[in-house]
A and B are shown apart, each in its own frame.
Chain A
Amino acid sequence: MDEMQEIIKTYVIKEYVEDDTELTYDSPLISGGIVDSFSMVSLKRFLENKYNIAIPDDKATPEAFDSVNKICALVREYVK
């Protein structure tokens, strides 16, 4: 477990999970219906502010945002 995984997981739970659904770092977020693709904009804004990065719109795809681990991999591409 690293810090980024936990920070992103905590944000996803607070922002999107409305019941007692348990989340792992590999839970499918968008294909699993936890995060709808419309709501990704908040997640993108959160990541950009938190890590002081700019994620190009064409990289912020439903596939790239589909699990905590995939999001971490995306963020690491842009963190200096």
Chain B
Amino acid sequence: MAYTEKTRGIYTEILAGLQSAGLFKQERYIHSAQDADIEVEFPAGAPLKKVINICANNYLGLSSHPEVVKAAHEGLDSHGYGMSSVRFICGTQDIHRTLEQMVTKFLGTEDTILFPSCMDANAGVFEAVLTKDDVMISDRLVHASIIDGIRLCSAMHDTYKHSDMEHLEEKLQLHDLKRLKMVITDGVFSMDGDTAKLDKMVELCEKYGALLFVDDSHSSGFIGKTGRGTHEQYGVMGKIDIITTTFGKGLGGASGGCVSGRKELVEMCRQKARPYLFSNTIAPPVVAGVIKVLEILSASTDRRDKLEKNTEFWRKGLTEAGLIIKAGDTPIVPVMLFNAKLAQDVSRDLYEEGIYAIGFFFPVVPQGQARIRTQISAGHEIHHLEKALDAFRKVGKKYDILGKSKQEIIERYGM
């Protein structure tokens, strides 16, 4: 047996190290469908507790929407459970191509290719379209999946300071002689909830002849007046060369992702992207569910409008309560606590009050920037948000952080 006691000891020690460093991730078991109100078993074996969920990516409240669930049932009946094949052998159904065409229309691009997840889309896209003669210039706060994709690509890689357009321009000048330059950013940054300055970025990319890549996973379906994403919000639809996004957040919340953009680049992914070539694509019932999601969102903006109103209410409520939040207008609203232990304590106390929100701290966010990341949904009603605000006020009072400045919180609790 190769798995010796010595081998086991190596892993036991690593895992113990994660626990003692406070970095050990523990799952909480949800016994209900994903929604604003959920039933949670935490810790394992504890009685079920009804809580309000304010940390899901369920921005549009579609994860358990009856029409989406019904469409998935129908997709299961008509197209089966799985494909038992990758796309290019015998794993492509009519509904896969239908969904690709619907996404293309929804995002205002030229073509789309589905991936098992957006993690896979980001892992595969750079290697498929760039070579060692090219350069990738990315924002320093892009998502981990993009970083992994960049690592898999032979092109040179450089970075620019977060959302710093002057620095980006310097980098475009520095690498001007490369065959292809690709600027890479998130549309909405998942930890801070701020948006990339896409109008300015398009201007710079046009000036220096660079391609522009945007991961709109935290935007698709609700950012912009009709929910198309950050490119709609900044008035640059049709000018983003590659958009990647997920169906695992606002667009139904199940799974799957895509690369959407210039048709030649999409075709390069179809020919060369390894997660597309060597993995089954999205399962038929999920495809049917996402098709229904896009039908719902194309017919009405009611859900994104409600999310916008909920977000305004939430941001105003937290600010008036005297908490420090990251400025912005997206439904990702980080409540800044700066100290890692404080973030964990506040999260635990909120849970006692019936509010499910998680603390984030180093290395997920920079040292000294610990926070509770709250995420608002169109599935929330005002009474949910009022109850959550009451809990934040109560817990905030306990720790004496209401109305306190960053400096005062750091002086009391440390970085």
Which residues in A have some Cβ–Cβ distance to B below 8 Å? Answer: 18, 33, 36, 38-39, 41-42, 45
Q: Is the CB of A38 within 8 A of B161?
A: no
With A33-B366, A41-B156, A42-B171 already in contact, 18 other A-B pairs whose C-beta atoms are closer than 8 Å? A18-B161, A18-B162, A33-B367, A36-B140, A36-B159, A38-B138, A38-B150, A38-B157, A38-B158, A38-B159, A39-B158, A39-B159, A41-B157, A41-B158, A42-B158, A42-B159, A42-B174, A45-B174
Among residues 170 to 194 in chain B, which have CB atoms less than 8 Å away from a CB atom of chain A? 171, 174
Alpha-carbon distance A42/B158, docked complex (angstroms): 7
Min Cβ gap B242→A in Å is 19
Query: Which residues of chain A are near B156, meaning CB under 8 Å?
Result: 41
Q: Which residue of B147, B162, B174, B367 is within 8 Å of A38 (Cβ)?
A: B147
CA distance A47 to B151 in the complex (A): 23
CB distance from B35 to the nearest CB of A (A): 38
B interface residues, how many (CB within 8 angstroms): 15
Bound CA–CA A38/B150 (angstroms): 9
Chain B stretch 130-164: residues in CB contact (< 8 A) with chain A: 138, 140, 147, 150, 156-159, 161-162
Per the bound structure, the CA–CA distance linking A45 and B135 in Å amounts to 13
Distance A41 CA – B289 CA, assembled complex (angstroms): 44
Considering the complex, give the chain B residue whose CB is closest to the CB of A17.
Answer: B161
Q: Hey, which chain A residues are within 8 Å of B159, CB to CB? A: 36, 38-39, 42
CB-CB under 8 A from A42, the residues of chain B are 158-159, 171, 174
Top 4 nearest A-B pairs by Cβ distance? A39-B159, A41-B158, A38-B157, A38-B159
With both beta carbons as reference points, the residue of chain B lying nearest to A42 in the complex is identified as B158
Contacts of A39 in B (CB 8 A): 140, 158-159
- In the complex, the chain A residue whose C-beta lies closest to that of B138 is A38
1/0 contact string of B19-45 vs chain A (CB within 8 Å): 000000000000000000000000000
* Chain B contacts with A in 355-395, Cβ cutoff 8 A: 363, 366-367
Of chain A, the residue at the smallest CB distance from B142 is: A38
Give A33 to B364 CA distance when docked, in angstroms: 12
List 10 A-B residue pairs with CB atoms under 8 Å apart, sorted by A's residue number.
A18-B161, A36-B140, A36-B159, A38-B138, A38-B147, A38-B157, A39-B159, A41-B156, A42-B174, A45-B174
Inter-chain contacts of B157 with A (CB < 8 A): 38, 41
CB-CB nearest in chain A for B167:
A15
* Chain A neighbourhood of B147, CB < 8 A: 38
Roughly how many angstroms separate A38 CA and B158 CA in the complex, as a whole number?
A: 6
A26 to chain B, nearest CB (A): 19
A46 to B344, CA, bound (A): 41
Q: How many Å from the CB of B175 to the closest CB on chain A?
A: 9
B6 to chain A minimum Cβ distance, whole angstroms, is 28
Chain B, Cβ-Cβ closest to A45: B174
How many angstroms between the C-alpha atoms of A76 and B348 in the bound complex? 53
Q: Which residues of B contact A38 (CB under 8 A)?
A: 138, 147, 150, 157-159
CB distance from A66 to the nearest CB of B (A): 17
For the complex, give the distance between the alpha carbons of A18 and B171 in Å: 17
Q: From residue B184, how far is it (CB to closest CB) to chain A in Å?
A: 11
Within 8 A of A (CB), among B327-375: 363, 366-367
Residues in A neighbouring B158, C-beta threshold 8 A: 38-39, 41-42
